[in-house]
Chain A
């Protein structure tokens, strides 16, 4: 079935999925912390919109609740908590530019291609109209991972981690119409607790090394052992 033959709602779904992938790239490249938090909030909002559309398109009814939960957690609560942390740590004007932007973006594009390849056997199975989004969701997870590796700043690493969770939620929504509600609640609870703990950690890291540049956390390495 080509794109032109799908109902309009499903076309909208694909457009939203492509936009989520774009926000993932934006998040990867953002130098300013506050802009990165906003990009993350947009990503969450788009994913909540996708969930609502899947729910109206005949998905399980508990997806409405999941969408609301995602919206409140990923668009309102977690960005607010991060913003508050950034204010408390005086990082509002802080920028941390990507060191080798061209290479990292190329790596991200390679990851998109890789996730497409990986998702092919799943896409081959005739399922619902959302199966094409699996590749996008895996790409978001992997780009979140890339962000955690290449942005050595604590807040940005947390954003990468949260963006991975976004990708996982999207994967669940697109392949299986959402996981059972109990599991979704558990996952959301875990994410919230993780966010709280991250907040505690920002203060601890800042107190111990006077900055949130994670590269400076380097006392525990194998080579240092010999010098002690």
Chain B
């Protein structure tokens, strides 16, 4: 139990301290320290869960599904904080933001980590909602940190669109509570996920169906599903690069996690009706739409961070589709994909941060010859894009392969759409990447000090996961698959 509390509340304590700390120098290091503490606690927690099964208590619940997400969140939080320390110092030097802005940045960074970890570990659906909304609120000021008109616009769009989405998700939560009250005796337990999951088949199907629609549209806005994705490219490209990394890598996962928790309840409720697959079909529809539309939009982008945020939308669409497809194979693939996509995407954004630092702009047409100017950055970007495009032997290839196999098994015609979407996205990414990495470097472009260790760690992990998934991780994913899809893969 202490492990859970430490993991979740260490960032909160860190946020409070960072809000009061005036020195930017020490704030950067404290940020890293708190993130490290949280990671240690989460690793301890993971070990406890691996030994004892699941841990529950005080409205927290860590089972096979969310434990690895917790570790992933803490890990990416740490590596990004390591990257962000010198990066934000540079931002401060170039006057893009002031001392107050940095204080807000560091405090909100840890507050954001707190809300995400709370959302992942809570057993109460209402607290889940509060935490996801808190995650939005804590990042809103960070997107507009640079105070340019574009940044303010992006932040406003983010705030309004995600606010609306979250409000609809709250309605879905209220409807779920309404359905639960019919079935349970204790009104206080009406929002406890584990209790509801036990009584899922008793929940009224009509109400749960409507509730799921609202929840999918609501939390789907935060995942970035088309057509509710309008805020994502703007918010991820206008904020500081560490923000883009954690938003793309972590927050989207948390929102998808919330949707899947509700899907498990809905599936149990609808199991006895004439349309037991309704939730799955909705997920597949939104997922496929997001996947295809984002892949097409990739081609039109001129801003490098926007391009990669469309790539995030595309991958989240793929994961949503996989979860919608159901079955052990697709679910295992989707869970693995959540893991590797986070690692790869955050690594890419960190590298892109360095690349924009070298070139002085985010415009793709003006970033050239990275491999000549600073080979570490160039090669990292190249490998990162290769990984995210789904090349073997990286982990993304494994998860996509699993998904394609599952699709061919269950819905063969969708395989064509998936393959063409993957090809379109691949073409878009490489078309933009090639001149950026290999083109002729402009005059006067020099290397910058860049700690590439976080990036290389991430990419190495992704490679390792593609070549040989370690047994404990495979067992974790398998248990999560069993929890969600009802059947083992391994």
The answer to whether A and B touch directly, with their CB atoms under 8 angstroms apart, is yes
Question: What residues of A have a CB within 8 angstroms of the CB of B300 in the complex?
Answer: 222, 225-226
Does the CB pair A121–B126 fall under 8 Å?
Answer: no
Which of B149, B238, B303 contacts A209 (CB under 8 A)?
B149
Which of B129, B137, B175, B363 contacts A175 (CB under 8 A)?
B175
Report the separation of the CA atoms of residues A114 and B134 in the bound assembly, to the nearest whole angstrom: 31
Given contacts A176-B190, A219-B150, A220-B150, contact A148 B160 (CB under 8 A): yes
Does the CB pair A208–B148 fall under 8 Å?
Answer: yes
Binary B-proximity of A91-134 (CB < 8 A = 1, otherwise 0): 00000000000000000000000000010011001000000000
Q: Which residues of B in the span 114-142 have a Cβ within 8 Å of any Cβ on A?
A: 124, 126-127, 129-130, 133-134, 137, 140-141
Is A179 part of the contact surface with B, judged by Cβ < 8 Å?
yes
Question: What residues of B have a CB within 8 angstroms of the CB of A141 in the complex?
Answer: 167-168, 171
Question: What residues of A have a CB within 8 angstroms of the CB of B297 in the complex?
Answer: 222
Which of B130, B188, B190, B363 contacts A228 (CB under 8 A)?
B363
Least distance between A66 CB and chain B CB atoms (Å): 13
Q: How many A residues have CB within 8 A of the partner chain?
A: 48
Is B272 part of the contact surface with A, judged by Cβ < 8 Å?
no
Is B54 part of the contact surface with A, judged by Cβ < 8 Å?
no
Does the CB pair A179–B171 fall under 8 Å?
Answer: no
Least distance between B255 CB and chain A CB atoms (Å): 16
Question: What residues of B have a CB within 8 angstroms of the CB of A225 in the complex?
Answer: 300-303, 306
Does the CB pair B174–A201 fall under 8 Å?
Answer: no
Summarize A's interface: helix, strand, loop or mixed.
Answer: helix
Does the CB pair A183–B126 fall under 8 Å?
Answer: yes
Binary A-proximity of B159-175 (CB < 8 A = 1, otherwise 0): 11001100110110011
Does the CB pair A148–B164 fall under 8 Å?
Answer: yes
Report the separation of the CA atoms of residues A182 and B123 in the bound assembly, to the nearest whole angstrom: 13
Apart from A175-B174, A198-B159, A219-B153, 15 more pairs, CB < 8 Å? A118-B210, A161-B163, A176-B178, A176-B181, A182-B124, A187-B126, A189-B130, A197-B140, A197-B141, A201-B140, A217-B152, A220-B238, A222-B300, A225-B300, A225-B302
Closest 7 pairs between A and B when the two form their complex, measured CB to CB: A183-B126, A186-B130, A121-B206, A217-B153, A208-B149, A175-B178, A208-B152
List B residues at the A interface (Cβ < 8 Å): 124, 126-127, 129-130, 133-134, 137, 140-141, 144, 147-150, 152-157, 159-160, 163-164, 167-168, 170-171, 174-175, 177-178, 181-182, 187-188, 190-191, 204, 206-207, 210, 233-234, 238, 297, 300-303, 306, 363
List A residues at the B interface (Cβ < 8 Å): 60, 118, 121-122, 125, 138, 141, 145, 148, 154, 157, 161, 164-165, 168, 171-172, 175-177, 179-180, 182-183, 186-187, 189-190, 193-194, 197-198, 200-201, 204-205, 207-209, 214, 217-220, 222, 225-226, 228
22 pairs, A vs B, C-beta closer than 8 Å: A122-B206, A122-B207, A122-B210, A141-B167, A148-B160, A154-B156, A165-B167, A175-B177, A180-B187, A183-B127, A186-B126, A187-B126, A189-B130, A190-B130, A197-B140, A197-B141, A200-B141, A207-B147, A209-B149, A219-B153, A220-B234, A228-B302
